[in-house]
């Protein structure tokens, strides 16, 4: 998804999950492309600041994600189905 598409789709920020060993290079090259367009967060920084806690879960389900603005409704619906089925918690993002 481009930063332009993320903003148009209503996303307030872009969050990347990046390996610690490549994080500085990533921030310098990719992260700077988003600067001034949409706020950028890196999961490792959020964890380091105590703002987020990350748990990796095993999953055999199908992956889905947002690439285009039109994907937002599909992603929202799929997440809600997982919440309704008890697979995801009601308060997914805390």
Q: Give one DSSP letter per residue of 14-33, joined into a string.
A: EEE---GGGHHHHIIIIIHH
- DSSP state, 40? E
Cα separation values, 3 from 7, 37, 39, 68, Å: 6, 7, 9, 10
Query: CA geometry: angle at 92 spanning 8 and 86, to 5°?
Result: 125
Q: Assign 3 a pLDDT band (cuts: 50, 70, 90).
A: low
Q: Assign 93 a pLDDT band (cuts: 50, 70, 90).
A: low
Reading the block at residue 79, the tokens are 């997440």
Q: What is the reported pLDDT for 94?
A: 58
Please answer whether residues 52 and 25 qualify as being in contact, where contact means their C-beta atoms are separated by less than 8 angstroms.
Answer: no
Q: What is the reported pLDDT for 85?
A: 92
For residues 48, 50, 51, 52, the Cα torsion angle rounded to the nearest 10 degrees is 80
Query: For the whole prediction, is pTM greater than 0.85?
Result: no
Residue 84 has pLDDT above 90, yes or no: yes
């Amino acid at each position: 998804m481009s930063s332009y598409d993320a903003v148009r789709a209503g996303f307030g920020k872009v969050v990347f999950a990046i390996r610690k060993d490549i994080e500085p290079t990533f921030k310098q090259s990719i992260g700077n492309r988003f600067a001034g367009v949409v706020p950028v967060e890196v999961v490792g920084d959020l964890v380091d600041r105590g703002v987020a806690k990350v748990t990796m879960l095993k999953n055999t389900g199908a992956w889905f994600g947002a690439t285009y603005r039109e994907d937002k409704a599909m992603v929202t619906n799929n997440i809600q189905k997982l919440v309704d089925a008890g697979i995801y918690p009601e308060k997914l993002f805390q």
